[in-house]
């Protein structure tokens, strides 16, 4: 089977490649061919150098890899007849991420790539491209499964599902990361725990950890030491988790500690420090500049940069929460590639797995329509991902989910109609934008910053 990676020059591609190589050793790996597509040839060459080192190491240990890799410069050709598509693109590149952040900060609201104003801007820019990709998949590879990592992942998956139906599955590593950390805090093997998680991407709650025939979440909430032994516990604090009765996804820090989280970023930037986009750009500059020309060092350069990125992940939030440290086990890439591979294995081998993914609701969360993409435990096998019924959300969870989904829907309407009024509503409806006047400032600011957005939204 062939896997096409859109965004093949992306920084995390070697993680996926490493996992595929490991699979290939066992001999029964379904994927035998990888096609990398990227609009940026230089980035592709840098990543290609890392993959080359990984293949050398593989060759030395196990012989010639049973996995070929090639680059393809044309999107339609890259997708033609492929079996699986990983889509992990960044429309506008890191420079776009920085503008998403900076325009929001200038308007006095949170600057983050997926949450709040920044996420809306990123979504407005990304949805038209995701739509074009979905149409090309439908035309060139109608039987393919699309695994979408492209952020904002829930919104982008919903946009693609309008074309591809349930053949697109959105993924994120944060729910599984939360589950794993919570299980370990209880001394449980995460593989033996069934997680009751529900919400939207970057907006969900772990409401139960079922193991040995009972829910162990109450035990965890009662145990102060265990509760503060992992990142989310320290970010939110034991008292708030108990009051809430659930464990929020780490991105909910931007909502529950909205003021502190926003001020922490604003403070960094006011002190001349970088936004997250600027920080990552600086971290990765040397790698993308030098790796292709120094192939022998490419892997070491990449690995060092990867560790630095993981170490500084959500640093402002952790500082806002009183100097929370990252645990050693969270520096290994967060399991991004593991989630992707788990979905792919379940589909290609028809090995049913219960995975938390982004799919059309189809009744899983009551009160949301069937087409709303939600992030819930789903049964994944050769027939795709079917969401499992989730217990009802609390009124509070439901209110937040509906508020954010309504903003997402306005983004989709804005792109579909080419008009700015739904885009204004998207900013204004978002719970982290506190005034319609600010929403207007944001829309104007993003239109000024992004010429391509003026093309997406030509009409009032």
Which residues are at the interface with ligand G6P (CB under 6 A)?
Answer: 151, 172-174, 276, 280, 309, 313, 334, 336
User: Can you give 94-124 as a three-state secondary structure string?
Assistant: HHHHHHHHHHHHHCCCCCCCCCCHHHHHHHH
Which residue's CB is nearer to ligand G6P, number 145 or number 313? Answer: 313
Q: Which of 180, 185, 160 is nearest to 170 (CA)?
A: 160
Tell me the C-alpha distance between 219 and 209, whole Å: 10
Nearest approach in angstroms of CB 416 to Mn ion is: 25
Nearest approach in angstroms of CB 274 to ligand G6P is: 12
What angle, rounded to 10 degrees, do the helices at 41-62 and 295-311 form? 100
Nearest approach in angstroms of CB 334 to Mn ion is: 9
Task: Enter the tokens of residue 234.
Answer: 């320290």
Nearest approach in angstroms of CB 174 to Mn ion is: 5
Q: Is 169 in the site for Mn ion (CB under 5 A)?
A: no
Q: Which of 107, 206, 209, 88 is nearest to 148 (CA)?
A: 88
Tell me the C-alpha distance between 251 and 260, whole Å: 13
* Contact window for Mn ion (CB under 5 A) among 10-18, 77-85, 165-173, 187-195: 165-173
In degrees and rounded to multiples of 5, residue 125 shows phi and psi of -80, -30
Q: Which are the contacts of 369, defined by CB distance < 8 A and separation ≥ 6?
A: 361
* Contact window for Mn ion (CB under 5 A) among 66-74, 83-91, 166-174, 224-232: 166-174
Which residue's CB is nearer to ligand G6P, number 295 or number 333? Answer: 333
Nearest approach in angstroms of CB 268 to ligand G6P is: 14
* Contact window for Mn ion (CB under 5 A) among 20-28, 167-175, 267-275, 446-454: 167-175
Residue 1 · residue 31 · CB < 8 Å: yes
Nearest approach in angstroms of CB 311 to ligand G6P is: 10
Which residue's CB is nearer to ligand G6P, number 158 or number 173? Answer: 173
Which residue's CB is nearer to Mn ion, number 130 or number 172? Answer: 172
Q: Which of 172, 206, 217, 247 is close enough to bind Mn ion by CB under 5 A?
A: 172
Tell me the C-alpha distance between 113 and 123, whole Å: 9
| Residue with the shortest CB distance to ligand G6P | 174
């Amino acid at each position: 089977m062939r896997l096409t990676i859109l965004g093949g020059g992306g920084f995390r591609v070697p993680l996926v490649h490493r996992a595929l190589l490991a699979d290939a050793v066992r001999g029964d790996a379904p994927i035998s061919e990888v096609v990398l597509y990227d609009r940026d040839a230089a980035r592709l060459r840098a990543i290609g150098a890392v993959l080359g080192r990984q293949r050398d190491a593989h060759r030395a240990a196990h012989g010639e890899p049973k996995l070929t890799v090639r680059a393809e410069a044309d999107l339609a050709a890259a997708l033609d007849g492929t079996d699986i598509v990983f889509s992990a693109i960044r429309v506008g590149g890191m420079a776009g991420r920085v503008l998403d952040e900076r325009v929001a900060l200038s308007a006095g609201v949170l600057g983050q790539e997926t949450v709040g104003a920044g996420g809306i801007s990123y979504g407005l820019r990304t949805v038209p491209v995701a739509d074009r990709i979905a149409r090309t998949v439908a035309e060139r590879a109608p039987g393919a499964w699309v695994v979408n990592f492209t952020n904002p992942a829930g919104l982008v998956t919903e946009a693609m599902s309008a074309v591809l139906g349930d053949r697109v599955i959105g993924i994120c590593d944060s729910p599984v990361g939360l589950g794993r950390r919570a299980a370990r805090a209880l001394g449980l093997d995460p593989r033996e725990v069934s997680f009751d998680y529900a919400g939207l991407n970057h907006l969900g709650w772990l409401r139960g950890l079922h193991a040995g025939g009972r829910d162990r979440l109450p035990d965890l909430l009662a145990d102060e030491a265990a509760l503060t032994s992992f990142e989310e516990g320290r970010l939110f604090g034991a008292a708030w988790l108990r009051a809430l009765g659930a464990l929020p996804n780490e991105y909910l820090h931007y909502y529950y500690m909205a003021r502190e989280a926003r001020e922490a970023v604003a403070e960094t930037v006011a002190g001349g420090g970088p936004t997250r986009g600027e920080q990552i750009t600086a971290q990765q500059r040397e790698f993308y500049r030098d790796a292709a020309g120094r192939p022998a060092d490419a892997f070491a350069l990449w690995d060092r940069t990867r560790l630095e990125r993981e170490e500084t992940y959500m640093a402002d939030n952790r500082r806002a929460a009183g100097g929370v440290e990252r645990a050693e086990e969270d520096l290994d890439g967060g399991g991004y590639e593991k989630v992707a591979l788990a979905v792919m294995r379940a589909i290609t081998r028809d090995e049913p797995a219960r995975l938390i993914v982004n799919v059309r609701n189809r009744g899983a969360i009551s009160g949301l329509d069937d087409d709303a993409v939600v992030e819930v435990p789903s049964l994944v096998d050769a027939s795709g991902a079917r969401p499992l019924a989730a217990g009802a959300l609390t009124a509070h969870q439901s209110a937040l989910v509906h508020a954010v989904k309504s903003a997402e829907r306005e983004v989709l309407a804005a792109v579909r109609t080419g008009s700015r009024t739904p885009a204004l509503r998207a900013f204004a409806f978002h719970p982290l934008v506190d005034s319609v006047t600010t929403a207007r400032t944001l829309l104007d600011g993003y239109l000024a910053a992004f010429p391509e957005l003026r093309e997406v939204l030509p009409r009032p």
